[in-house]
A and B are shown apart, each in its own frame.
Chain A
Amino acid sequence: MVNPPAFLPWSILFLPLAAFLIITFLTRKSKPLSAAVAIGALALSLCSTAALLIHILRCHEPANAAFTFTVPWVDLPGLFLEFGLLVNPLAILMSLVVTGVGLMIFIYSVGYMSHEPGFARYFAFLSLFAFSMLGIVLANNFVTLFIFWELVGASSYLLIGYWYDRPRAADAGKKAFLVNRIADFGFLLGILMLWSVSGVHGEPRTLNFLMLDSVSAHIRDQFSGAGLFSPLSLIALLLFCGVVGKSAQFPLHVWLPDAMEGPTPVSALIHAATMVAAGVYLLCRIFFLLEVFNIPQVLGLIAWIGGFTALFAASMALVENDIKRVLAYSTLSQLGYMVMALGMGGYAAGMFHLTTHAFFKAMLFMGAGCVIHSLHTNDIWQMGGLRWTMPVTTTLFAIGSLALCGIFPFAGFWSKDEILALAFDSHRILWFIGTLTACLTAFYMGRVFCVAFLGEPRSREHHSHEAPAIMLWPLIPLAILSIIGGFIGIPSLLDNPTGAHVEFNLTVALISNLAAVGGLLLAWAIYVKGFQPVQWLQNLLAPATRLLIRKYFVDEVYGWINRNVQQRTAVVLNLFERYVIIGLWANGIAKTTGLTGSALRRMQTGKVQNYALALLIGLSLLIYASWRWVP
């Protein structure tokens, strides 16, 4: 197969960076110019991605296409680091998602953020984020990936804390960054461990994905033992740590709901469609390692964490009143689905769900943004009756909700069904958890829709009006994709012969649809028709509701750990530093030198005869030594 022209992948990556630099240094004063630069750069990146897609589709075997473009960075014997891009169908798909959905969100932001003073700063940071995210997508080795991984974390921090004068936003940014830091520590350890075992048969050690692919079987053969703490399992677990942080799986999920303090388009782009999906994307990128390494326990653990997160997050969404936070928990839940799919070996299923999720979740967030923009409140109990005042937004939100619930024939049904079918065949319990979560998903989305969009306006002060056109037009392509996304053949693009192949299972499809419809009906009954469950049922559920509202007290646990473990350790270490390291070592050495000097200076008596005596002593000892020790 023939290589595509080199400027295409490099332009995908560096055009947003150029936009960031131009906006920061040149066009900061001008709002329209900044927006134009950012949107233009991302549109050009999208065009490059499309060109690469066409190139790949025209290849002989599209699914196996892989093109590498690298720049050597460090070239020493024993250490070779490069800065490079790997273009294969997986990367192109993800890149299309990032640039396509991103472009829609950029255009939407022009309307949403039009009254903000920091407009140019916003677009600069968005472009920086696009650059970082595309770096993760296209990277061809772990080092480049990790650099961009951290950059994405930094961009997220900058964007969450966009309104930096609000303490809650600043705290949320810090929380996101710190939680990710913990995860990235494990990730880095995993990378280093992988590096150390990658030198087999005299080959140099490498972190390049393609080269690791070729030696992965040799690596596996080096290590016997497949328990949870064997070297290969540890490597996989540590690499998964990064996923837990970035994709907000339990127990590092706490940063995502608080990250809703940022502007809504940011939430749409970063915390729904792209950045949080980076963890899932990483798992796909290194899937060859996971399947070759013979680590069934780790894969099972990954699947269970995914499934647990899905149910856990969906349960917390049931009692949320902030529309953005409901969507955040929903994102957590769907990410759990994706991770669960990867853990069961469903490489194509996981990516499929990532893609469709990006479409409808971004649209849902932007729809919520339209509502927030016009009503200036996030609380669903202040909304109501938006169906009459904002019909377009209502329709789009409805489409997104149906896709999210997995109702046939929307896109979400196809991807979610593939995951559930995979679970049905291999892990029946996880299938049950997945179906239960689908039911809960339908219930809380129905709750939000009914309370916010149906019924009568609940509050006198907030008057709603339809969003401006510039905020509605970007949602149209996403809505179309949410409807037809199941039919455009995404799994076949990724056809991985060794990944789990899923046949369409009618039973699973019927059960999941029934569960979703049931959830929606229940929500409609409670929140529109005012159906009140029997009193004893309400009393029974009250403590559970409290638990959910307090988010299972996870934040309190973290706070306790921080106060009692981390702070106390810090005090001990402070004392250690002050008295041992500084007192004993640094000052000690200085004092010892001073004392030695004071002692030795008494040799300078000023009397010549003392010096002569010293000469005599030295001379006699020298002669003695020459007599004694020279053979």
Chain B
Amino acid sequence: MILHSYLALSGILFTIGLVGVVTRRNIIMILLSLEILLSAANLAFVAFSQALGDLSGQIMVFFVMIVAAAEVTVGLAIAVVLVRQHGKSNADDLRDLRW
């Protein structure tokens, strides 16, 4: 049950992140909400690691953080390029790949 509260917490955080991704209009803010998603996953990993007595969960968190770092770097670079080209940072305006 105690694990359940950690998982519930992780779920709430994940939902907040998801709603943020879908709802925000600014691309930087979308990337920010993505970070919340990753953090929620991290929390779940660590909670399970403690519950099962296995350190692999925390190792996983370590690697998730590394990947998040790389992803944020590249993502922000792309965002910068997009804003430079289009002049505005509204996600709704970036729809060149439509049908």
A residues with CB within 8 A of B:
601-602, 604-609, 612-613, 616
Contact = CB atoms under 8 A, between A and B. Distances in A.
A515 B23 CA distance: 112
A601 B92 CA distance: 18
A608 B91 contact: yes
Given A607-B91, A608-B30, A608-B91, A613 B96 contact: no
A606 B21 CA distance: 15
B18 A616 contact: yes
Given A607-B92, A608-B30, A616 B22 contact: yes
* Residue from A601, A606, A613, A616 with most neighbouring chain B CB atoms (10 Å): A606
Contacts of B95: 605-607
B22 A606 contact: no
B98 interface: yes
Contact of B21 (A601, A602, A612): A612
A607 B23 CA distance: 12
A602 B30 contact: no
B99 A602 contact: yes
A606 B96 contact: yes
Contact of A606 (B18, B23, B30, B94): B94
Contacts, number: 33
B77 interface: no
A607 B22 contact: no
B97 interface: yes
A621 to B, nearest CB: 14
A624 to B, nearest CB: 14
Contacts of B91: 607-609
Interface of B: 18, 21-23, 30, 91-92, 94-99
Contacts of B22: 609, 612-613, 616
A153 B87 CA distance: 84
A604 B99 contact: yes
A609 B96 contact: no
26 contacts: A601-B99, A602-B99, A604-B97, A604-B98, A604-B99, A605-B95, A605-B98, A606-B95, A606-B96, A606-B98, A606-B99, A607-B94, A607-B95, A607-B98, A608-B30, A608-B94, A609-B21, A609-B22, A609-B23, A609-B92, A612-B18, A612-B21, A612-B22, A613-B22, A616-B18, A616-B22
Contacts of A604: 97-99
Contacts of A608: 30, 91, 94
A601 B98 CA distance: 9
Contacts of B96: 606
Given A604-B97, A607-B91, A609-B92, 10 more contacts: A604-B98, A604-B99, A605-B98, A607-B94, A607-B95, A607-B98, A608-B91, A608-B94, A609-B91, A616-B18
Q: Which 9 A-B pairs have the closest CB atoms?
A: A606-B95, A606-B98, A601-B99, A604-B99, A606-B97, A613-B22, A612-B21, A607-B95, A612-B22
Nearest to B24: A609
Nearest to A616: B18
Contacts of A616: 18, 22
Nearest to B18: A616
* Residue from B18, B22, B91 with most neighbouring chain A CB atoms (10 Å): B22
Nearest to A608: B91
A117 B23 CA distance: 92
A616 B10 CA distance: 16
Contacts of B18: 612, 616
A604 B95 CA distance: 9
A609 B30 contact: yes
B9 to A, nearest CB: 17
B86 to A, nearest CB: 13
A616 B21 CA distance: 10
Nearest to B27: A608
A30 B96 CA distance: 79
A608 B33 CA distance: 14
Nearest to A605: B98
A605 B92 CA distance: 10
A606 B94 CA distance: 7
A598 to B, nearest CB: 9
B54 to A, nearest CB: 24
A602 B99 CA distance: 7
Contacts of B30: 608-609
Contacts of A606: 94-99
A604 B23 CA distance: 18
A613 B95 CA distance: 15
A612 B30 CA distance: 11
Contacts of B92: 607, 609
Contacts of B98: 604-607
A630 B99 CA distance: 38
A382 B84 CA distance: 109
Contacts of A605: 95, 98
Nearest to A614: B22
A605 B97 CA distance: 7
A608 to B, nearest CB: 6
A608 B96 CA distance: 11
A609 B22 CA distance: 5
B23 to A, nearest CB: 8
A27 to B, nearest CB: 70
* Residue from B18, B91, B99 with most neighbouring chain A CB atoms (10 Å): B99
Nearest to A604: B99
A604 B18 CA distance: 20
A602 B98 CA distance: 8
A474 B97 CA distance: 90
Contacts of B97: 604, 606
A608 B25 CA distance: 11
Nearest to B93: A607
A604 B22 CA distance: 16
Nearest to A607: B95
B29 to A, nearest CB: 11
A455 B44 CA distance: 124
A616 B18 CA distance: 7
A607 B22 CA distance: 10
